[in-house]
A and B are shown apart, each in its own frame.
Chain A
Amino acid sequence: MSNHSQAHPAHLQHHFVDSDQQFDAAKMGMWVFIVNEILFFGGLFCAYIVFRAWYPDLFTQAATELNTVWGAVNTLVLIGSSLTVAMAIRSAQKNQIKGLQINLLITIALACIFLLIKYFEYSHKLHIGIWPGAELYTYEGIDHPLAHVFFSIYYVMTGIHAIHIIVGIGLMIWIYIRAKKNEFGSEYYTPVEMVGLYWHLVDVIWIFLFPLLYLIE
């Protein structure tokens, strides 16, 4: 393996023996990263659980300020985007580069819709005085002294999730540009699959955030 007389594919990195090893390693690395993310959000879910166990009334009261309809719409938007990113990977696997590009664009669009809805949700709350943290929170509509705590948890959980969405959009734009440059095909689509896995993770996290924050009235 020290000679380079055999041509190896352009995408094959030097320290790997073959494409399969490289793909499997990339996938395993991505799943280990997903383990990370689960524990990262897990800390936030832990804080949620601890406080909800202490103050169940606070949670049921404060959650009335969250709009279930828009939360459900956002859930459907993300599910749709998971579907389209899975379709994008499928297109890559079947060497349908146009299909890959279109599905990526739709996924990006759906992700932007999610952020747009979030923007409306946040700006409504900020407008009526629901800000993160006791220093800025001024809303009087919830009759509980710890209302700011619930919303701090709400903002940090959905906020960090939204940051992950933004990062995901960036990654998908990058993949789209590379797809336009014909870098992917059925022989090599690893980055598409990796971004897809990341995106599904973001979807799964929302699948849990939604009922725990929005559906507890």
Chain B
Amino acid sequence: MSEHNHHEHHVSSAGQLWAIGIALTLLTILTVGLSYVEIPAPFDVVVALTVAFGKAFLVCAFFMNLYWDTKFNTMLLIGAFAFFILMVAVTLLDTLYRNDVVPSF
């Protein structure tokens, strides 16, 4: 099949890629800086994870090109993450709720 009927693959410009790289660097500096600020638990984790998610989003959408890719691949990523959350949440249903008082017989 010698016809070149590619559906176009997205090509990012060098400027776009550098912009994302710089954004990621700034977010890294931000998260390190915030770690020195006294934020009460559990919000310190929430803040750190929010920044981490922001960085991960930038990498997945614009370095891994999910933004321009078929939606199914994005669904795979989100699906995987959803199952991870389920694994953690249901396990915590056990591990956080131990210490049930055992009635004495």
Contact = CB atoms under 8 A, between A and B. Distances in A.
A211 B51 contact: yes
Interface string A195-208: 01100110110011
Interface string A108-129: 0000000000000000000000
B52 A18 contact: no
B28 A79 contact: yes
A53 B95 contact: yes
Contact of B1 (A17, A94, A200): A17
A46 B64 contact: no
B84 A42 contact: yes
Nearest to A1: B1
Contact of B59 (A50, A82, A93): A82
Given A31-B76, A31-B77, A215 B35 contact: yes
Contact of B95 (A7, A12, A54, A72): A54
B28 A76 contact: yes
Contact of A79 (B7, B21, B79, B83): B21
B48 to A, nearest CB: 4
A209 B76 CA distance: 22
Nearest to B10: A93
A56 B41 CA distance: 10
A87 interface: yes
Main SS class of interface, A = helix
A8 B63 CA distance: 31
Interface of B: 1-3, 5-7, 9, 11-12, 14, 17-18, 20-21, 24-25, 28-29, 31-32, 35, 41, 44-45, 48-49, 51-52, 55-56, 59-60, 63-64, 69-70, 72-73, 76-77, 79-81, 83-84, 87-88, 91-92, 95-96
Interface of A: 6-9, 12, 17-20, 23-24, 27-28, 31-32, 34-35, 38-39, 42-43, 45-46, 49-50, 53-54, 56, 68, 72, 75-76, 79-80, 82-83, 86-87, 90, 93-94, 196-197, 200-201, 203-204, 207-208, 210-212, 215-217
3 shortest A-B CB distances, which residue pairs? Answer: A83-B21, A42-B84, A211-B48
Given A53-B92, A68-B32, A90-B11, 13 more contacts: A8-B1, A31-B73, A38-B81, A38-B84, A42-B80, A82-B21, A83-B17, A83-B18, A90-B17, A93-B9, A211-B48, A211-B49, A216-B45
